[in-house]
Amino acid sequence: MILQGNEDLRVRKTIRGIKSAFEALICEKDYEKITVKDLCDRAQINKKTFYHYYETLDALLAELQGELAEDYLNRIKGYALPEDLDKVNREFLLYSAAQGLAYEKITCSGAYHAIRDEMIAGVTDAGWSGSKKYQQLPDYQKQLLMSFVNNAVLTAYRLWVEDGKTIPLDEVIEQTNRLVLGGVNGFFAP
């Protein structure tokens, strides 16, 4: 349940408790091993309370992903693509680096593949929908371009996390942009 700010204090505390418990469980185990019972025990609520706010754990995960995507989209709102792709990539990596362990697990773990793909699709649509260059491409070329960009940037982030974040983030951003911008600029070259 996305809080609007006008809910009763008890409702806000319950939702925050559910989300906090869920994020803690994500950090501890793979998604497919998390149960509603685990979550309820951690949040100190009963199952009926959980189901009052969420139909399933997938719905809770989708809400969490939606909130993360919305926060990122707000950061890149004024950018035009592909012209500002370097800034968009920079914002993604800075945003990702500022998130916690639960975000890292969702972004890097194979257990979250399906829901992560939905989030990426939403971000891609929002980010590239205003690009005339992109809109003029046939569907195959759109899919090819987005697969390249998304996979390159996500792989850079994942490798940085797996390496223990030993490389300075600015260096990761620079290397990622060199790779991605070279490919995208070459793709759109006449």
Question: Residue range 59-67: average pLDDT?
Answer: 90
Chain segment 152-177, per-residue pLDDT in tens = 999 999 999 999 999 999 999 999 99
User: What pLDDT does residue 81 have?
Assistant: 93
**pLDDT tier, 1 (very low <50, low <70, confident <90, very high otherwise):** low
Q: Is 167 left (phi over 0), alpha (psi -120 to 50) or beta?
A: beta
User: What pLDDT does residue 125 have?
Assistant: 83
Question: Residue range 34-62: average pLDDT?
Answer: 95
Rounded Cα gap, residues 101 and 117, in angstroms:
19
Chain segment 91-147, per-residue pLDDT in tens = 999 999 999 999 999 999 887 877 788 878 888 888 898 899 999 999 999 999 999
Averaged pLDDT of the chain: 91
User: Does residue 5 register a pLDDT over 70?
Assistant: no
- 32: DSSP letter: G
**pLDDT tier, 27 (very low <50, low <70, confident <90, very high otherwise):** very high
H or E stretch covering 5 = none
User: Does residue 179 register a pLDDT over 80?
Assistant: yes
User: Does residue 8 register a pLDDT over 70?
Assistant: yes
User: What pLDDT does residue 129 have?
Assistant: 87
Question: Which domains, from first to last, does the chain contain?
Answer: 9-54 (1.10.10.60), 59-188 (1.10.357)
Type of residue at 91:
E
User: What pLDDT does residue 174 have?
Assistant: 98
User: What pLDDT does residue 145 have?
Assistant: 95
pTM: 0.87
SS3 79: coil
Rounded Cα gap, residues 121 and 143, in angstroms:
11
Other Cβ atoms closer than 10 A to 82: 19
User: Does residue 4 register a pLDDT over 70?
Assistant: no
Lowest mean pLDDT segment, chosen from 7-16, 26-35, 153-162: 7-16
Other Cβ atoms closer than 10 A to 154: 17
